[in-house]
Structure 1
Amino acid sequence: MATLPTSDSANFSTVSTFGDQNNSTDKCPPAVFKEWQSTVVPACMLLISVLGIVMNLFVLTVFCFHKKACTVAEIYLSNLAAADLFLMVCLPLWAANAINRYDWPFSHHLCSLFPLSINMNAYCSIYFLVLISIDRYIALVHPLSHKRISRPKFAKLGCLLVWGFGLLMSIPTLVYRKVAYKSRYNKSICFLDYSVKEELLFDGMQNTFGFIIPICMISYCTLVIIHSLNKRLIERSKSKKTEQKATTLVLVVLLVFVICWVPHHVVLILKTLIKANVLRECSFIANMEICSTVFMNLAFFNSVLNPILYVIVGKNFRKKVRGLFKQWSNNRTLIIRNTSTHLSLFRSVKPTVTTEDNTI
């Protein structure tokens, strides 16, 4: 493992979701290492990790242990929480790497695991939102068709396909990610060992399938949903109110996702252009590295915000929470009553003494 240079003359972003963190052009001198990159960044990561683990476990507990079966939208939201939880569990690895000034302190296998969790979260999160958007689109625009196809088994199959697709698109992370000593930085770096052509190919695929296509699908469905809601404001039937509540939660989750993830994806696209030598300004490249760090943590924070949104906006989710606590309270009361009854019966039974025993 490399020792830290006294001049701190190294420039690293925390990690890019889909790319190599040290793929800046060699023609530009490395920027001066900033102290906040090994103090503020890991502190933010650890805080996000702890909050994300607690909140997403809470969401999964509510969805999984409530006595009522999950609706289709709730199946998608629970899988979204599972994807966020997977990322949050792995996040402390990169926080430790940041504390160590990005001199990778772990094994090669862990070098692959953390970027895999980011890739899986990025792909699965956005495609779960695609499924949620399509579900809301059909529920509002084609309600008759929605009744025929909105079955939990179809939702579970869709989630399984999303997990498989996320794993498939993350294979390059497992194959090409490795740990190696970089004399330019005097550190052992966890990076993607791509050739230039492979890197541009994979970056293009990831920008296209991980952002451009799904965000277009989400945008189309969202615009149609908003238009449909505006047309139906006059109608106030109970079923339509229920659909509107579910749709409001989905729209808020989508909006927050866009705010948190779009800046990160834009930076990734710009970094792809840098790797293709379309953008060559050294100051611009240095700024992209800083933006990559900031926007990556903003993307991580989305995993903390989602559970908060379910509680603040999701009235049905709050009902499930109250129902679950009531269910647990009733079970506890029943256990206490049964225990008390058992003890009362035990105390009421007195030992009898026979006549023969008395004579003896």
Structure 2
Amino acid sequence: EWTVTLGAFYGDQNNTNGTDCPETDAWEWIHSSQPVYILIITVLGIMLNVFVLMVFCLHKKACTVAEIYLSNLAAADLLLVCCLPFWAVNISNGFNWPFGEFLCKIITVGIKMNADSSIYLLVLVSIDRYVALVHTMSYGQMRRPKYAKLGCLLMWGLGFLLSVPALSFRRVQYFPNYDINACFLDYPNHTVELFCDVMLVVCSFIIPISIISFCTVKIIQTLRIKAIERLNAEKTEQRATTLMLVVLLAFLICWVPFHIITILDLLYRVELVGGCHLSRFLEIGNQVFTYFAFFNSVLNPILYVIVGKNFRKKVAEVFSQWSNKKAASSETYPPKKSHKSQLWWAVS
């Protein structure tokens, strides 16, 4: 979970999972390029997700159920990218954590909690689309804003619950061999470590991806049937569903490689698989695919604008509201004429 084997980074072969694999030069590339990449996605993520949240907040109409989920997803993405600069400094500093143990815990919990919350908010999105299209008559009454808000609250709580191991076991420790203070997961024993890793795979990948896959298959089947029957009455729902499917696809592209690496790393540590090539792949892959997954927080708001016709309409309406308010305020408070201009008008 966003950690690095110190021996792998500093070239100590005795600490590379107990193998005698030769060291790799790839860490120098990670050390130099990854902080720049993290800062870029941080800036883009903050700008784009703030924009999405402002559109939803400033629009005069109340958010629909789908928009409640999207706004919570944007909030989770925003909080996640706000935590990343600390980790960029950590990497550029040779994994020497300069912010103290409190921020070591809080920043890691922020990243973990918001990543898991994003995943489970997408689960809610999938279920909402499934109910809206597949069981419109049976469970349509359940698609109410108050239930959507309650569901989002539960998902935030679940995200925090899944981040408890990070809160409990993250700490800063001085490593004299490397002369650094590292922020790392210090599990009490190997059994607890394996249990937490298995829970990560099951709760953050297998369960949500199973629900999302089931809902997506049913949604696609229903859309095909409705396309054949040429039902035009539910075009709004179908447009919303198209947006959700694109967002889900982006999530899969960004997050599946990270979870595959996590599963391989777990199998490697229980010695079901092995080898120097796999060891080097896991060391670098853990870093690369973790931060590739975080790119999803930048991609989501872009997709809202490109694919979401209703969102673009909301943006136009918000700008129209803002322009009308400015025009109304200028009419209410006309500029006062100076004494000279008044005198000129009187003389003329």
TM over 0.5: yes
- 2: CA distance, partners of 1:275 / 1:185: 23
- Rounded to whole Å, the distance in 2 between the matches of 1:221 and 1:36 is 40
Matching residue of 1:154 = 147
On the 8 A contact 2:38/2:84 being kept in 1, the answer is yes
What is aligned with 1:16? none
C-alpha separation in 2, matches of 1:238 and 1:68: 24
Q: Which moved more, 1:308-317 or 1:230-239?
A: 230-239
**1:305-340: CA deviation from partner (whole Å, max 9, x where unpaired):** 000000000000000000000001101111111011
Residue 119 of structure 2 corresponds to 126
Per the TM alignment, residue 206 of structure 1 is displaced from its structure 2 partner at its CA by: 1.3
Counterpart secondary structure, 1:137: helix
Relative to 1, partners in 2 of residues 1:248 and 1:137: Cα closer, same or farther, differing over 3 Å? same
Gaps of 5+ in 2: 1-5, 344-348
Contact 2:7 2:16 in 1 (8 A): no
State the shift of 1:147 in Å. 3.1
Distance 1:196 1:80, change over 3 A: same
Cα offsets for 1:5-38 (capped at 9, x unmatched): xxxx95349xxxxxxxx98513345734532112
Contact 1:62/1:324 (<8 A) preserved: yes
Instruction: Provide the residue aligned with 2:3 in structure 1.
Output: none
Q: Which has the higher helix share?
A: 2
The alpha carbon displacement at 1:114 in A equals: 2.3
Aligned twin of 2:197: 203
Percent same amino acid at aligned positions? Answer: 53
Alignment partner of 1:234: what SS? helix
Contact 2:45 2:298 in 1 (8 A): yes
Secondary structure of the corresponding residue to residue 181 of structure 1: strand
Residue type of the partner of 1:167?
F
Report which structure shows greater RCO (CA 8 Å, sep ≥6).
Answer: 1
CA RMSD of aligned residues (A): 2.4
Tell me if the contact between 1:10 and 1:30 (Cα under 8 Å) persists in the aligned partners.
Answer: no
Aligned match for 2:130, one of 125, 133, 137: 137
Structure 1 partner of 2:8: 11
- Alignment-derived partner of residue 253 in structure 1: 247
Matches within 5 A, 1:104-115: 104-115=97-108
The structure whose Rg is larger is 1
Among candidates 96, 103, 109, match of residue 103 of structure 1: 96
Number of residue pairs matched? 332
Structure 2 partner of 1:318: 312
**Contact 2:197 2:266 (C-alpha < 8 Å) held by counterparts:** yes
| Counterpart contact for 2:55–2:318, Cα < 8 Å | yes
Does 1:54 pair with 2:47? yes
Partners of 1:116 and 1:327 in 2: how far apart?
Answer: 38
Give a deviation string over 1:211-269, Cα, whole Å, max 9, x none.
10110000000000001101110344554111110000000000010000000011111
Matches within 5 A, 1:1-360: 10-12=7-9, 24-28=16-20, 31-32=23-24, 34-183=27-176, 185-194=178-187, 195-340=189-334, 343=336
Residues of 1 paired with 2:117 and 2:218: CA distance?
23
Deviation at 1:343, TM superposition (A): 4.1
Q: Which amino acid aligns with 2:86?
A: L
1:47-103, CA deviations, whole angstroms, 9 ceiling, x for partnerless residues? 000000000000011111110111101100111111100111110001001111112
Shift of 1:111: 1.1
Tell me, yes or no, if the aligned pair for 1:37 and 1:101 is still in contact at 8 Å: no
Q: For the residues of structure 1 that align with 2:279 and 2:51, how far apart are their CA atoms?
A: 40
> What is the alpha-carbon distance in structure 2 between the residues aligned to residue 159 and residue 28 of structure 1?
48
Matched-pair contact (CA < 8 Å) for 2:121–2:152: yes
Judge conservation of contact 1:10–1:32 (CA < 8 Å) in 2: no
Contact 1:119 1:170 in 2 (8 A): yes
Q: In the alignment, is the contact (CA less than 8 A) between 1:45 and 1:95 conserved in 2?
A: yes
SS at match of 1:39: helix
Q: Is the 8 A contact 2:24 2:280 kept in 1?
A: no
1:44 shift after superposition: 0.3
Aligned pair in 2 of structure 1 residues 24, 137: CA closer, same or farther (>3 Å)?
A: farther
Amino acid at match of 2:169: Y
C-alpha contact (below 8 Å) 2:131/2:140 kept by paired residues: no
- Report the Cα distance in structure 1 between the residues aligned to 2:303 and 2:103, rounded to whole angstroms: 32
The unaligned stretches of length 5 or more in structure 1 are 1-8, 14-21, 351-360
